[in-house]
Amino acid sequence: MKFTLAQIKKNAFQKPFPFSGEVDVSELEQLNNDIRKIDPVLVEGTCTMQGEQFFFKFTITGQMILPCARTLVDVPYSFEIHAEEIFSSSPYYNEDEDAEIHPIHGEVLDLMPYIKENILLEVPFRVFSDEVDPDVLIQKGKDWEVLSEKPTEVKIDPRFKKLESLFKDTEKEK
């Protein structure tokens, strides 16, 4: 999603300049291992201008596929992100002063890196699948096993089998 400064200045001079479009952010699948698949996202917003600063307020709406934290099955995760970004075309703007304002180099403002950044910031740490199929769950692995809540029979070490008879005698005495 690219805008030329002339286009923004012409359209945002008197009133907010509305924009919308669908953008492909499938590149995020390779950047973040948690995102298995992401569909094209819808970006809608407005741009206002004040002097040499451009204020973008936009909403990113879409859906991504993330792994379930318990079972690693695919979980669809819908999102709606509200973002605000400020850009400056001033040649005197020093980027080190304020990190909240992004400088514009050249005559084209590219909003794509900021769209991707906002999506990555909103990826949840864990998602859980509501539809867990017991056949999909892994019950055993190397050196581990899932234990259930069911009572299990106690297995006695054969070396202590003779000691068991001693305990039976003391129970009879009581």
62 and 100, same structural domain? yes
147 and 61, same structural domain? no
78 and 152, same structural domain? no
pLDDT at res. 129: 80
73 and 145, same structural domain? no
pLDDT at res. 62: 92
The segments of the chain whose pLDDT lies below 70 read 32, 91, 93-99, 132-139, 148, 151-152, 168-174
pLDDT at res. 63: 92
Based on the structure, what is the number of domains in the chain?
Answer: 2
Which structural domain range is residue 26 located in? 2-121
pLDDT at res. 95: 62
Question: Residue 67 and residue 75: Cα distance in Å, rounded?
Answer: 6
pLDDT at res. 3: 83
pLDDT at res. 58: 93
pTM above 0.75? no
Is the separation of the CB atoms in 104 and 85 below 8 Å? Answer: no
148 and 97, same structural domain? no
93 and 22, same structural domain? yes
- 131 lies in a domain? no
116 and 85, same structural domain? yes
Is the separation of the CB atoms in 44 and 19 below 8 Å? Answer: yes
- 33 lies in a domain? yes
114 and 63, same structural domain? yes
- Token output for 80: 């709606």
Question: Residue 59 and residue 20: Cα distance in Å, rounded?
Answer: 9
- 135 lies in a domain? no
Residue type, 7: Q
